[in-house]
Amino acid sequence: MVIDLHNHSYYSDGILSPTEVVRLANKQNCDMVALTDHDTIDGLAEASYEANKLNLQFVFGTEISATWNNMTIHILGLKINPNNKILQTGLKKHQQLREVRSEKIACSLEGAGIIGAMEKTKAITKTGIITRTHFAQMLIQEGICKNMKSVFRNFLTGNNPGSVSVKWAQFDEVIGWIRSAGGVAVLAHPLRYRVTHTQIKRMMSDLAVNGCTGIEVVTAMSSLDEIILVSQWSGELGLLASSGSDYHGWSNQRVQIGCLQDLPNYEQAIWKNWIW
């Protein structure tokens, strides 16, 4: 089966509408797909409607920023009830933090000589949320940077222009929002964080103790060795395994919906009991 539980639409930092994301997943022969936009659930109703028309199993999701050990991590909420008030309130707080951050990023970039940073970035977006990805794509489109790698080497991180820290909700609070909405919490792309393997395992352990259900074992960029390693870690901690491409659709990103390697152990699959 083709299962992809991590995808983005233009309600956060993707290119396609929720309808187009679902249609593409269907074209890619996905059996199950989730929409997991950053700190928002605004596209879920549209995506679910299209999935029902195509008889494609759809998972209601979101990707929530969280703080662990003073660093930002991303936690997927899967099989959530989007009508849950606790989740809605938490996401609204994060959306407000994103608004403040975008203004600060634009101001910092202006200070570095990038005139009209906010206006140029807003021109790329299709909804209200502005993410770092939008600023990154603006820098590429303006010819200031060649690609995403050069963006994050020279801007938006560390001591570079456009680097703005945010105090997201603590990881245990975010897990609480997801569980309150009847969902399961999954640590997204664990090997993308710039920490040691020892710290990643401690992160996973802390999340597990506080109600996290799974780990994203397979991503579009995972090597076979990485998949085996993270699968082993998740098994040791009693966590289930998820699989998601983290598709956004930008022309300078190679990731495609549904193009994922298999889980090493299907018995660990978080969706094992979700198939209808």
pLDDT given at position 276? 61
Residues 6+ apart with CB under 8 A from 60: 34, 35, 41, 44, 48, 78, 79, 80, 81, 82, 183
Averaged pLDDT, groups of 10, the chain, 276 residues long: 97 97 98 98 98 98 98 98 98 97 98 97 92 96 95 96 96 98 98 96 98 98 97 97 97 93 95 84
Half-sphere exposure of 15 (CA within 13 A, CB side): 12
pLDDT given at position 110? 97
pLDDT given at position 275? 72
For the whole model, what pTM was predicted?
Answer: 0.96
Q: Which domains does the chain have, with CATH numbers?
A: 3-84+170-268 (3.20.20.140), 92-154 (1.10.150.650)
Strand-pairing partners, residue 68, are 71
pLDDT given at position 251? 87
Strands (E), the chain: 3-4, 32-35, 57-68, 71-78, 184-187, 214-218, 240-243
pLDDT given at position 44? 98
